[in-house]
Structure 1
Amino acid sequence: MMLGVPDLTPAHPGVDVLGADCRIDSSVSVMRFGQRADVLCLADSVSLYAHTRLVLGDVVADPCVGIRIGARTIVNVGAYLSGEGGLEIGADVLIGPHAKLLSAGHAIDEGDVIIARNRITRAKITVEDGAWIGAGAIVLEGVTIGRGAVVAAGALVRQDVPAGMVAAGMPARLIRARRGEAWQQPETPPSGWRRVWSALASVWR
């Protein structure tokens, strides 16, 4: 037993596919209705900490509905993960406490004056391998967080964050590239990439 760490979990209500050695706190809740058996899938060694909320809504409303979480990803306490528009989280991702990933919303400029009666908007969120979403950050529908990218605590992300970049603020903007030897490997951008990141950063301002 490890204090504060969820126990190993062979199954959890609402989860369709659960890999080996996953840890899910008993307070984790799943909101879904409708019949599909492939919409909530966790790879090996995923950890979901206390009071995390996974929202799928009507799983037959749209073929994009679903949440997939890659191996060894950790979702800290109180996170809110919406798969209503599709949510793909890679391997070795860190999602901080009370972060919110919102893949659906409501149209506000059409139809009924009552917002709740307007159509639901949906767009997939993708978080690539090794990224970090800081505590209390909000990621909106349609955003991609690149491999190894960092979203600072409390940030509101409305645009893609390229691989290896750090985004902060409300609304978030790119503030710099990560430093260190890891970003000098061949699979990372070639020489001259800093000029590319500078150009991208100027678009965010």
Structure 2
Amino acid sequence: MTIWTDATGIPPVAYAHPHIDQMGAGCRIADSVSFVRQRPDVCTARISLGEGVMLFDGVRLVLGADLHTSAFIRIGGGSVINVGSYLSGEGGLDIGEGVLVGPHAALLSAGHSLDAAEPCVARNPLTRAPVRIGAGAWIGARSIVLQGVTIGEGAVIGAGSVVTRDVPPMAVAVGNPARIMRYRHAQRGWRRLATWLGMGQVT
């Protein structure tokens, strides 16, 4: 595990933050991290960080301006959110422990209805579905994960990919739309895939 120091470019340690509802010890948050949310005292939606989470410059966390009950962002301990990434929690965003999110990635738990009556898409209601990122996964630079998608534990999403459907644990998925290219450590990958599919233990 990397031991971060106060080197140039590493965010400073934060002991509290006005827009974060729960924060573990040793989190590092850059001054340029921004938030879109109602005031915590009027909104039940929550942002919570486990121990040692790092939010680099330009990261944006979004719960939305309304009070929708599905909105939340949870980031597990030891996860690193790199520069310029966009975290949409309007439909719920759950990031496991030890996750790496590359520069300028977008995790989108909400979108706009395309088939509502209003011709202007921006005026149509939001659609929402939770995004879940399993522990130890790596979301490559400039990747996009769309609403309703689950990324399994230890999975890798190649840089610039657009993920439109679930990715099993230990899978390596790339492209637009992202497709599974292979599994990491094949034996372990097949065992986790079997568990994912409810097939029980595979030897």
Q: State the TM-score, normalized to the length of structure 2.
A: 0.87
Letter in 2 for 1:189: R
Give 1:119 deviation, angstroms.
1.0
Give 2:152's aligned residue: 146
Q: Note if contact 1:17-1:38 (Cα within 8 Å) is conserved in structure 2.
A: no
Q: Note if contact 2:45-2:70 (Cα within 8 Å) is conserved in structure 1.
A: no
Runs of 4+ with deviation above 3 angstroms: none
Give 1:140 deviation, angstroms.
0.2
The match for 1:58 among 61, 65, 75 is: 65
Give 1:38 deviation, angstroms.
5.2
Pairing 1:22–2:48 present: no
Letter in 2 for 1:141: Q
Q: State the TM-score, normalized to the length of structure 1.
A: 0.86
Q: Distance in 2 between matches of 1:117 and 1:110?
A: 9
The match for 1:171 among 168, 171, 177 is: 177
Give 1:33 deviation, angstroms.
1.4
Task: Please say which of residues 28-37 and 43-52 is displaced more in the overlay.
Answer: 28-37
Q: Note if contact 2:45-2:71 (Cα within 8 Å) is conserved in structure 1.
A: no
User: 1:157 and 1:44, CA in 2 relative to 1: closer, same or farther beyond 3 A?
Assistant: same
* Unpaired segments ≥5 residues, structure 1: 197-205
Give 2:112's aligned residue: 106
SS in 2 for 1:189: helix
State the number of aligned residues. Answer: 188
Q: Note if contact 1:13-1:30 (Cα within 8 Å) is conserved in structure 2.
A: no
Q: Distance in 2 between matches of 1:97 and 1:12?
A: 23
Give 2:49's aligned residue: 42
Give 1:11's aligned residue: 16
RMSD: 1.9
User: 1:37 and 1:3, CA in 2 relative to 1: closer, same or farther beyond 3 A?
Assistant: farther
* Unpaired segments ≥5 residues, structure 2: 1-5, 198-203
Give 2:201's aligned residue: none
Identity %: 48
Q: Distance in 1 between matches of 2:45 and 2:150?
A: 22
